[in-house]
Amino acid sequence: MRLLLAALALVLALGIGLGLGLGLAGWPPPGVAARLGLEAPAPVAPVALPTVSLAPEGSEEAATIALFRAARDSVVAISTSADSRDLFGRGDVVPLGTGSGFLWDGAGYVVTNAHVVDGASSATVTLADGRAFEASLVGSDASHDLAVLRITGENLPAPLALAPEGPPEVGTRVLAIGNPFGLDWTLTAGIVSALDRSIPGAQGRALRGLIQTDAAINPGNSGGPLLDAAGRVVGVNTAIYSPSGGSAGIGFAVPAATVARVVPELIRTGRYVPPTLGLSFDPRLNAAVNRQGLVGAMVLEVAPRSEAARAGLEGARMLRDGRIVPGDVVVAVEGEAVATLDDLLAALDARAVGETVTVTLERDGRRGEVELPLLPGG
């Protein structure tokens, strides 16, 4: 018993000595202090430490930190929901998904992916400062996986600028900001791995001309910006290639040139229609004749009083027995081979209304060329 009391006295003495000599916060505890006749210590307020960058000034790391700080507020988180009804007709609103986006201009337009808002009945845009806005859908274009939302509010962050030059060089350093798996405003870095990639898209059309990057892109990053070292948008992150569903170092972004062409039309009209040649085509019929060995885009009809009509182009004819006799078939545009209707649409999509293009046609085994102006789609 004496040994136990001695040990307890030694522990108390050490505790009091450490508490007084070393200034340990909270020692002795209030209950012990009262029994010993000591004054209980005042609670210690936590000290907020300033955020300090350890990156050397002028280093790549310091530049990345500065870029993120400058661009972060212009990137938004998007959550969508859909109306649902049960077997008894009772309605409910269910969460649909999440994605990313970025401010396009000072009018509150937000750019994202079409698949982020596809099927949604409502969308909420959340800013980095925590403010949330109900967004309206302005327009969507599945063929390029781009969509525009709009929010209304005061003191919105500055928009991000598009890179004005052509596509970035392979090896260019890029950064992605987004909300993967709901982890808001996540920054990842990488390089441009390749250009002009194609992946399967909506409506049976491929997404073409994409930027490939090894910057980590995951579910939730969709619609967020891919930035260059100057903080300009070089692409809109849209998809990943991954057997597991997570980042495998192969991500894809819609290039800035496509964004610059499509987004203004979505804002202006709510949809995007590529230029036309004054010719009409049928996707299913064209796919069928391609499977039968025809190479190119088979003209179905020629618009009356168009340049194509004046040039003597002819559409396909259907015989009484149901067989189709091709008229003119587009096999190249500006020297670029056209094997399918998708090839033709991609070639026209990369050009602007008013341009004149050289179209190579084939009819009855003979080839010829004609100059045709690009007309507004409708």
The 8 Å CB, 24+ separation contacts for 262-270 are 262/141, 262/144, 262/146, 263/104, 263/109, 263/111, 263/146, 263/148, 265/139, 266/138, 266/139, 266/140, 266/141, 266/146, 266/147, 266/148, 267/104, 267/109, 267/138, 267/139, 267/148, 269/139, 270/138, 270/139
Q: Round the CA-based radius of gyration of the chain to a whole number and report it.
A: 31
Are β-strands 91-103 and 206-213 bridged in parallel, bridged antiparallel, or unpaired? unpaired
Q: Which of 212, 209, 222, 301 is nearest to 262 (CA)?
A: 209
N-to-C CA span, the chain:
99
Give DSSP secondary structure letters for 39-87: PPPPPPPPPPPPP---SPTTSHHHHHHHHHHHHGGGEEEEEEEEEEE-T
Q: Is residue 144 flagged as an active site residue?
A: no
- 28's tokens: 């002795």
Q: Which of 79, 115, 342, 343 is catalytic?
A: 115
Q: Which of 139, 363, 375, 113 is nearest to 272 (CA)?
A: 139
CA distance 272 to 277: 16
CA distance 80 to 252: 22
Q: Which of 140, 143, 145, 342 is catalytic?
A: 145
* Per-residue buried b or exposed e for 52-78, using 16+ beta carbons within 10 Å of the residue's own CB: eeeeeeeeeeeebeebbeebebbbbbb
Q: Is residue 306 flagged as an active site residue?
A: no
Number of alpha helices (DSSP H) and beta strands (DSSP E) in the chain: 8, 21
Q: Which of 74, 222, 228, 349 is catalytic?
A: 222
Q: Is residue 228 flagged as an active site residue?
A: no
Q: Which residue type occupies 178?
A: G
CA distance 303 to 313: 10
Active site residues: 115, 145, 222
